[in-house]
Amino acid sequence: MQFNPCMKHKLIRSTARHFAETELAPIAAEIDQHRIFPREVIEKMRPLHYFGLQAPKEYGGAALDSISAAIVVEELSRVCAAVGLCVTVHNGVAVYPFLQFASSFQKEKYLPKLASGEVIGAFSLTEANAGSDAGSVETTAVKSGSDYVLNGTKIFVTNGGVCDVALIFALTSSPENRLQSSVFIVESGLPGFLRGELEDLCGMRANPVSSLFLEDCRVSQENLLGHLGDGMKIGLATLDNGRIGVAAQALGIAQGAMEAAVKYAKERQQFKKPIASQQTIQNYIADMATEIMAARLLLYRACELKDAGQPFGCEASMAKLYCSSVASKVTSVAVQIHGGYGYSKEYDVERYFRDAKVTEIYEGTSEIQRVVIARAVLSQPIL
C-alpha cells in the first residue's frame, strides 16, 4: 500500500491537469449551459491516449496502472465532469469488457479503434424498467440465421448521442429455451440503430446522454460478447470496474469544488476580513479536505487490488459509495461558502453541485453499493 504518490503518478496528474486547465476550463461552463459535446477537445485527446488509458500497447493504448487511470479521470472531472464522464465510461465500461470478454477476432476488430478514440464506446444496460434490477431487461435478441435481431429501448445511455459502438444487454433464449441476458457489440451505423433526443439533465450536461432504440436491428452472431447468457457475469464485472471510474470522477468534482471554495473564502471579504478567517468556514474547509483525502485513499486502495489481480468489487463499491457521498456533500458546502454567488451560474460551484448528484445514482445507486458491501461483509466467516 502506497500512501505517497510516486513521481509517475505526480507527472500523470500534472499532465492531465495541464490539459484540463488549458483545454477544458475555458469552455466547461459554456458547454454545460448549452449542452455542447466538445468534439474539438475530444479530437485533441485521442492521440494522447485518453481513450485507451488501460488498453494494452499492442492495441495502441497507454497500458496505465489503475491508479494512473483514476488520476486522469479525477483531473478531467476536477475541471469538467461531463468530459470526465465520457472518458471514464469509454475506458471503464466499454474498453474494459472488451479486454476481459471479447474474442481475439473482436479484439482485433474493435480495440485499436476504441483505444485510439476513433470509435467512442457506450455501455447500455439501463431500461425504463431495469436499473438497479439488472435482471429485468426487456430488450430482446432473437436468433435469425447467423444474426441476432435486436428490439428494445435503452435509456440514459452515457455517450449515447455520439457512440460508435454500444454494448447492448438483451434477452436471449438458451438452447433449453430459458431466458437469459447476453451482451452484443452493436455498431451505431447498423440499420435499426436509432438515437433518441439528448436528455435534458440536471448535471453533466455536456455529455450526450440519450436513449437508444433498436428496431429490428440485425447484428451478426460474431458480435456476441463472451458467450450466450454471459450478460449478468459481464455486467457485474464491468460495473465493478466502472465504479472505480465513477469514484474517481466524484473525487475530481469534490476536489474542484473545494479548491473553488477555498479560493473564494480567501478573497471574499465580509465584516472587513476574508471569510476564510471565520472559524465556521475553517471548519467546513477542514472537513472537506479530510473527507476528500479519505475518499482518495479508499479509491486508490481499490485500484491497487484490481492491479494485483485480487477481487476488488467490495472495495470498488466502498470507494464509489464514499467518493460520491463526499462529492455531494463537498459541492453543497462549496455552494454554501459562496453564498448567493454560489447559487448563480457565474461561479463554477453551481455546476459542480449539479454534477455531483448523479455520482450517487449511476453505476449502481448508493443503496445498491450498500447491498454489495453488506453482502461481502456478512459473507465473511466469523472468527
| Residues annotated as part of the active site | 363
Site residues for other proteins per CB under 8 A: 7-8, 10-12, 14-15, 18-19, 21-22, 25-27, 29-30, 44, 47-50, 53, 57, 61-64, 68, 72, 264, 267-269, 341, 346
Task: Report in angstroms how near the CB of residue 37 gets to other proteins at its nearest.
Answer: 13
Task: Report in angstroms how near the CB of residue 134 gets to other proteins at its nearest.
Answer: 32
- What is the C-alpha separation between 265 and 200, in angstroms, rounded? 32
- What is the C-alpha separation between 297 and 299, in angstroms, rounded? 5
Give the nearer residue to other proteins in terms of CB position, either 227 or 273: 273
Give 353's contacts (C-beta < 8 A, 6+ positions apart): 257, 331, 332, 334, 335, 342
Task: Report in angstroms how near the CB of residue 367 gets to other proteins at its nearest.
Answer: 35
Burial class (CB in 10 A: 0-12, 13-18, 19+), 246: buried
Query: What does DSSP say about strands 147-157 and 165-173: parallel, antiparallel, or unpaired?
Result: unpaired
Give the nearer residue to other proteins in terms of CB position, either 116 or 220: 116
- What is the C-alpha separation between 96 and 363, in angstroms, rounded? 14
Residue type, 179: L
Task: Report in angstroms how near the CB of residue 29 gets to other proteins at its nearest.
Answer: 7
Give the nearer residue to other proteins in terms of CB position, either 27 or 190: 27
Give the nearer residue to other proteins in terms of CB position, either 185 or 206: 206
Give 293's contacts (C-beta < 8 A, 6+ positions apart): none
Give the nearer residue to other proteins in terms of CB position, either 18 or 143: 18
Give the nearer residue to other proteins in terms of CB position, either 39 or 178: 39
